[in-house]
């Protein structure tokens, strides 16, 4: 259960535990917590484990410059580290770093890898069962692997022919396309999930994790069919947050491993994985003439600039430009 926050002491004394408690008090996503903790730890280790209270702008500049010059990280990665350290000082420690003067990274962001339609379908056809359906959702709806495995039964809106992505990155809910070719497989998967739920209820279980404070607001919701995971795990497990034995969703890493094997079997040698299907979704829409604002909404991007990177992915050969050798 890689998306489950590990429990913390009620009165933490260790610095990193105190930071985690503070992050959770701000209701930031668990992925944000893990990212911030990772970079703060890296910053502390770079300075021979000095306490952040004994350091300031000078040490921050040294570290960020090191990331750009010695580790040759991209500007986006350097900005992520900067965000983590600014959060540490401004929010957690209540200290203003002032104007920083570090060496910015000059390594540009790489263009995302995309599959051709034939490549994407070749990989999907090498999969079966829930893995085939999960990857079809990534390619057909532009979902992240995290968003796919976290889908609940109620998120598939058959009557309105759409899919609701509620537990998304940054907890920004959005509506997505529901491909007609996936209607029958999704209906079958709903039946499987609900049959498993009925069995769990008979065995004295059947309760699922609810995000936020929904379990307090709706005490009975955790056992209702609509809230059950669409892609439930094979085994029950102990939830470390509450100690309750219940059924979680299928793991992201497991799906990523299965997809990597399928890509290798198809002899596709691009640097690719689950997220490549999401990039391919956006690129196919752009190629078919879909308005970039609509793509932004379907992808759940906060900024249009994030979506515009796909305009660079659509090659000049797809804009009607022909090489002189082919004239």
Catalytic, out of 126, 150, 247, 301 = 301
Q: 126 an active-site residue?
A: no
Catalytic, out of 36, 209, 229, 310 = 310
**3-state SS class at 245:** strand
CA distances from 113 to 77, 147, 268, 278, 310 (A): 18, 20, 12, 10, 10
- Full DSSP string of 181-208: GGHHHHHHHHHHHHHHHHHHHHTT----
Q: 310 an active-site residue?
A: yes
Which residue do the tokens 């959060």 mark? 87
Other C-beta atoms within 10 Å of 120: how many?
A: 24
- The answer to whether residues 239 and 82 touch, using CB atoms and an 8 Å cutoff, is no
Q: 301 an active-site residue?
A: yes
Q: 169 an active-site residue?
A: yes
What does DSSP say about strands 174-177 and 162-165: parallel, antiparallel, or unpaired?
A: antiparallel
Catalytic, out of 197, 278, 279, 284 = 278
Which residue do the tokens 């009620």 mark? 10
Catalytic, out of 91, 169, 174, 175 = 169
- Full DSSP string of 113-170: P---HHHHHHHHHT--HHHHHHHHHHHHH---HHHHHT-BGGGEETTTTEEEE-S-GG
Residue 291 tokens read as 């308005």
Catalytic, out of 107, 166, 223, 275 = 275
Catalytic, out of 20, 131, 144, 279 = 144
Residues annotated as catalytic (active site), given as ranges: 144, 169, 275, 278, 301, 310
């Amino acid at each position: 259960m890689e998306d489950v926050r590990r429990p913390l002491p009620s009165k933490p004394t260790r610095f990193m535990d105190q930071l985690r408690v503070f992050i959770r008090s701000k209701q930031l996503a668990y992925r944000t917590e893990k990212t911030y903790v990772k970079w703060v730890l890296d910053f502390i280790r770079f300075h021979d484990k000095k306490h952040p209270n004994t350091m300031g702008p000078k040490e921050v500049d040294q570290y960020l410059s090191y990331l750009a010059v010695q580790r040759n990280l991209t500007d986006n990665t350097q900005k992520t580290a900067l965000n983590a350290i600014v959060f540490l000082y401004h929010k957690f420690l209540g200290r203003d770093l002032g104007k920083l003067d570090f060496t910015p990274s000059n390594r540009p962001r790489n263009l995302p890898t995309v599959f051709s339609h034939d490549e994407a379908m070749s990989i999907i056809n090498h999969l079966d069962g829930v893995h085939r359906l999960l990857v079809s959702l990534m390619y057909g709806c532009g979902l992240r692997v995290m968003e796919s495995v976290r889908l609940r039964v109620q998120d598939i809106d058959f009557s309105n022919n759409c899919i609701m992505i509620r537990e998304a990155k940054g907890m920004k809910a959005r509506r997505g396309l529901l491909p007609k070719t996936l209607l029958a497989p999704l209906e079958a998967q709903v039946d499987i999930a609900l049959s498993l739920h009925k069995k769990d209820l008979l065995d004295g279980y059947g309760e699922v994790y609810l995000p936020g404070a929904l379990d307090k607001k709706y005490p009975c919701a955790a056992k209702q069919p609509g809230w059950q995971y669409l892609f439930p795990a094979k085994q029950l497990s102990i939830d470390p947050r509450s100690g309750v034995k219940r059924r979680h969703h299928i793991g992201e890493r497991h799906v990523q491993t299965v997809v990597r094997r399928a890509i290798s079997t198809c002899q596709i040698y691009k640097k690719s994985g689950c997220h490549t299907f999401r990039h391919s979704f956006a690129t196919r829409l752009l190629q078919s003439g879909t308005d970039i604002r609509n793509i932004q909404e379907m992808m759940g991007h906060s900024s249009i600039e994030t979506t515009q990177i796909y305009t660079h992915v659509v090659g000049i050969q797809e804009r009607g430009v022909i090489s002189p050798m082919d004239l």
